Structure 1
Amino acid sequence: METKDIEVLVQKFALQNAYKYGKVPQAGSVTGKLLGTHPELKPHAKELMPIIQKVLAEIGEMSPEQVQSKLKEIAPELIEEVHTKKEARKGLPDLDISNVKPGQKVTLRIAPNPNGPPSLGNARGIVVNYEYARKYDGIFIMRFDDTDPSIKKPMLEAYQWYVEQAKWMGCPPDKVVVASDRIPLYYEYAEKLIALGHAYVCFCEQETFKELKDAGRPCPHRDTSPEENMNNWKRMLAGDFEEKVVLRIKTQIDHKDPALRDWVAFRIVREEHPRAGNKYLVWPMLDFESAMEDHFQNVTHIIRGKDLIKTAQKQKYVYDYLGWEYPKVYHWGRVRLLGFGKFSTSVMKKGIQDGEYSGWDDPRLPTVAALKRRGIEPEAIRNVMVNMGVTETDIEFSMDTLYAENRKIVDSKVNRYFFVHNPVVMKIDGAPETVAGAPLHPMDESRGVRKIHVPENADILVTMIDADNMKPGDLIRLKDLYNVRIKSLDPLCAEYIGNDISVLKKGARIIHWAPKDGVSVRVISPDGEFHGVAEAGVKDELHNVVQFERFGFARIDSINGVIVAYYTHP
């Protein structure tokens, strides 16, 4: 195949990947697709890399619109393939789109409070809503419900974190909306409801109102005229009242469910908002703000937790008063994350402030940032979240499920290296000087081998676990090096007995090892830290995931001095 033909193929596959996930693909993904469809190119894998890198650099300069346009020009069938595969994703049942009018797009949203970075639970909402939007060629909105400047105070950095990490997961929002930027709009509709006689300013103490509500009796302010309510509302905005004063939506005061009786739409909060400062004193409650924005953004379908079933019942009062049509609503059950315990944003934040965790990307935390730093592939997160589906049944989710999905993706891509934690020196007598030739990947010879120089009569390093399970006379095969027989344990000493692999038939165990002059490595994992030595080649893998043989996968995070790696999974 001519070089120019290969370049066209690479361009097609790279553009398709960029169109599908909204970002420049990794070289490994394009290589895998190319060799999977054209196995005859495998012997030439090394020569392909410069071509792939050139194409990826060109795509990196393109906008999403230019990517789509170029792909449509050279391979329109690949655009169709993307949509066909999206529609066939497992786990996501069809939506009822009978409420979508001609010319209207299916529109879904994720509505986080940006008081911290996205967690694994938030990732589910991002992925599922995004996938549905793509499935129906619709719109995916990220809306920040940041109107609580006191109890769930927003973090300025979190707004950007959510957008960036959604993009990293391959789920870029089509539109970003920030509620705190739109407070005057909510005031406008509060005043419409007041004028219509459907909202009133309540001066009751909280406990007093609760007693009346529980008894199904109106508070003394419920029948105040719209004119007087409007005056009181203006005084709320001016700061004339104390914080107990609220604006309530009139519902059915004797409704069988007390939670639905005359709910609060606005309250007074004098605490400074990180984004809006002290510009506003009166803030909408989530039920009101969310109801407004779902209408303003033409949201057609809402997916929310089943613990929020009453939210729709509350909001429908407002929709009925204003003559609006309520979106279709789906509920899903809670996800209990096994292996992490109970983590709320406030708990994580306090742990970081107290120095218990190194930051939001500490591997012990269930955040998207932590998973990214550990080397979890965004595709693995998307696959797992989609396969959970949308069901009201509560789910127990094991991280092993995510690890298994990630392993399918990275196993064929990552290079292998030796890493010995808790190292013990093994002195070897009678060994010749040699260069160990260990494959970078056992199933891909085209990657070549990593060469490790081992001097004559070398001292090497083995793990303490392996050393503790040795006894004099044991036959040991040092992987990809040679065979030894254990002579003594303290100090650990062995003698060279050749390189014939038939020693395995005599009961020899295979263990990994590291050169004594290797590089120091610190592996940070959810279960603690592992210190040891690895072969020097890992210094070339900065920001890549590697597999430390007989240890697990890890992402090389930094190479200054002691190499720091983040444990990915077994």
Structure 2
Amino acid sequence: MDGDIRRILEEYALQNAVKHANVPRAGAVIGAVLGSHPELRSRAKELNEIIQSVLADVEALTPKERETRLLAIAPDLAASMHQKKERSTELPSLPDADCGVVMRFAPNPSGPLHLGHARASILNDAYIRRYGGKYIYRIEDTDPKRVDPEAYEMVRDDLEWLGIGISDIVYQSDRLDIYYTYARQLIELGGAYVCTCEAERFRELKIAKKACPCRTLTPEENLLRYEQMFNGTFIEGQATIRIKTEIDHPDPAIRDFSAMRIVNSTLHPRVDATVYPLMNFSVAIDDHLLGMTHVIRGKDHIANTRRQRYIFDYFGWKPPHYLHYGRMSIEGLVLSTSSMHQGISEGIYSGWDDIRLGTLRALARRGIRPEAVRAAITEIGIGETDISFSWDNLFAKNRDIIDKESNRYFFVPEPRSLRVEGAPDQIAEAPRYPGDEERGLRKLHFTGDLLIPASEMKDAGMIRLKDLFNIRITGERTAEFAGESLADARAAKAPIIQWLPPEAAVPCRILTPEGVIEGYAEAEAGEFVGRTVQFERFGFVRIDSFEKGSITAYFTHR
């Protein structure tokens, strides 16, 4: 049975190594084995005793040899990897789209885009690429209290990074006169009125399914009030244009919803105005005038869709097709724009690209590629079911993109210096990328002293220095040469670890969402500023800077 267990471990270790082009961690392999073979859970201790030897065997193989071995001993696992890659992620068809579509992405310029925004922008872009048509970037900036002047440019940069194909850019703040005209027309039609009730009083009446006194005013009386909203008779909070709906509508949020209000306590960075439309009014007007054929948005907008249909009905317009996708919860990063603003102003975050945030520019700084974001979001699609965003899926797609372009280097976190007695001076030759001879070899000169991770000193006996030889720990700062045999290391279940000669190491700080990891890295890694490398047995990182002989990098993922 021990042979069977070893064989199963080898199969899943090879599958992981082939998939990710790197030797996996023990926990990942054992987790996969127990997930597929629950009958082995009672033998978890045996799995842990064998796994290091199995991983050493896998590490000794070239990438091509791993693929060949996997096909020979577990063709079903090899086939399942290809089947997963070939799984269709095509989005469902849109109704009435064969002649092309007109769609829009319409954020409020309160800050840069984050992962939640990316979903709508990417899905719209995918459909426009599929059917042809126009993609309008509509900036919904008619709430002066929610406008960050810097966000206008930041959002455009984020869309460019994502590769979104924008046809036209529309600023709603440039279209105030249009909204004023349609507000007047709606009042003349009897579909809207100017309410001067106090907000709390109106709320009480609405909940009680009772009309406020302003609702019965004639269009002429409402038009007079409408003019007074502009001439200073009313100030902020004293007058609101409301759309007439059923006063007993089952949803209180629908009942006589607000369409336009006065804002004179906050200056707008682009226009000199005091009367502004609310979102449901300006969106309905623009969706019609700009010719939207399809609107894709979250199902938290379903009530807004119902509100906006009243405006379409009053004017006799045909509404676009609406599609509402389920909520996408995203764990682990800050997404609230107001919280990000506050954190940046208080110095908690270094800026909009702080990697603890969920902004697209933070992902870019970590080394996440826009192609990976697009692929992950497109795969999620427009289903109505609520989901949790899968970081593992995003990282897997990003790994597929960056793996082959990322050289391998050693990084030693929390280093411990060792003097190795009895070892011959020699040069370790390690490939910059396994299996790619054209990239050449890194040459690390061992002359007696080295740096290894302090964590490897715990209960350590024999250790295999990757691409070098075996050592045996003899003291807190000392070790002795234990031969060059890889077979001896396997027999002793020796961990295979990264290391560095002090003269080839430079200080390296790696910033992660959880904190900073200090250590030393190969100096050559510093030549890849703005690009990703893989620190062996640690993960992928993006080299952010190499200044004064010190590397700063951002953790991408494993």
Do the structures match in fold with TM over 0.5?
A: yes
Q: Is the 8 A contact 1:339 1:398 kept in 2?
A: no
Q: TM-score, normalised by structure 2?
A: 0.80
Query: Which of 148, 156, 162 is the equivalent residue of 2:143?
Result: 148
**C-alpha separation between the residues in 2 aligned to 1:273 and 1:384?**
39
**C-alpha separation between the residues in 2 aligned to 1:503 and 1:174?**
65
Q: Is the 8 A contact 1:470 1:489 kept in 2?
A: no
Query: Which of 510, 521, 530 is the equivalent residue of 2:496?
Result: 510
1:462 aligns with 2:447: no
Query: Which of 212, 229, 248 is the equivalent residue of 1:254?
Result: 248
| Deviation per residue, 1:121-180 (Å, 9 max, x gap) | 111111111111111112222212121122xx2112212221211221222322222211
Structure 1, unmatched stretches of 5+, are 1-87
What residue in structure 2 maps to residue 477 of structure 1? 464
TM-aligned CA deviation for residue 108 of structure 1: 1.4
Query: Which of 100, 106, 110 is the equivalent residue of 1:111?
Result: 106
Greater mean alpha carbon deviation, residues 388-397 or residues 414-423: 388-397
1:123 aligns with 2:108: no
**C-alpha separation between the residues in 2 aligned to 1:351 and 1:140?**
34
AA aligned to 1:190 is: A
What residue in structure 1 maps to residue 295 of structure 2? 302
Q: Is the 8 A contact 1:515 1:534 kept in 2?
A: no
TM-aligned CA deviation for residue 398 of structure 1: 2.9
| Deviation per residue, 1:16-67 (Å, 9 max, x gap) | xxxxxxxxxxxxxxxxxxxxxxxxxxxxxxxxxxxxxxxxxxxxxxxxxxxx
Query: Which of 313, 332, 338 is the equivalent residue of 1:339?
Result: 332
Query: Which of 484, 489, 498 is the equivalent residue of 2:475?
Result: 489
CA change 1:444–1:274 in 2 (3 A) is farther
Greater mean alpha carbon deviation, residues 392-401 or residues 431-440: 431-440
**C-alpha separation between the residues in 2 aligned to 1:470 and 1:260?**
68
**C-alpha separation between the residues in 2 aligned to 1:262 and 1:397?**
36
Q: TM-score, normalised by structure 1?
A: 0.79
TM-aligned CA deviation for residue 91 of structure 1: 4.7
What residue in structure 1 maps to residue 269 of structure 2? 275
TM-aligned CA deviation for residue 274 of structure 1: 4.4
**C-alpha separation between the residues in 2 aligned to 1:569 and 1:510?**
21
What residue in structure 2 maps to residue 4 of structure 1? none
What residue in structure 2 maps to residue 367 of structure 1? 359
Q: Is the 8 A contact 2:507 2:521 kept in 1?
A: yes
Q: SS of the residue aligned with 2:306?
A: helix
What residue in structure 2 maps to residue 416 of structure 1? 408
**C-alpha separation between the residues in 1 aligned to 2:268 and 2:214?**
33
What residue in structure 2 maps to residue 32 of structure 1? none
Structure 2, unmatched stretches of 5+, are 1-86
Q: Is the 8 A contact 1:515 1:535 kept in 2?
A: no
What residue in structure 2 maps to residue 407 of structure 1? 399
Greater mean alpha carbon deviation, residues 243-252 or residues 546-555: 243-252
TM-aligned CA deviation for residue 368 of structure 1: 0.7
What residue in structure 1 maps to residue 429 of structure 2? 437
Q: SS of the residue aligned with 1:271?
A: coil
TM-aligned CA deviation for residue 332 of structure 1: 1.1
Greater mean alpha carbon deviation, residues 559-568 or residues 205-214: 205-214
Task: Report the RMSD for the aligned CA atoms in angstroms.
Answer: 1.9
Q: SS of the residue aligned with 2:213?
A: coil
Q: Is the 8 A contact 1:91 1:388 kept in 2?
A: no
Aligned-pair identity in percent equals 45
**C-alpha separation between the residues in 1 aligned to 2:414 and 2:300?**
48
What residue in structure 1 maps to residue 191 of structure 2? 198
Q: SS of the residue aligned with 2:144?
A: coil
TM-aligned CA deviation for residue 272 of structure 1: 2.9
**C-alpha separation between the residues in 1 aligned to 2:312 and 2:121?**
26
TM-aligned CA deviation for residue 363 of structure 1: 1.2
**C-alpha separation between the residues in 2 aligned to 1:482 and 1:207?**
78
AA aligned to 2:400 is: K
Q: Is the 8 A contact 2:104 2:137 kept in 1?
A: yes
AA aligned to 1:567 is: F
1:228 aligns with 2:214: no
TM-aligned CA deviation for residue 497 of structure 1: 4.2
| Deviation per residue, 1:71-98 (Å, 9 max, x gap) | xxxxxxxxxxxxxxxxx96151111126
| Deviation per residue, 1:381-425 (Å, 9 max, x gap) | 111101111111110123222112211222222110000010000
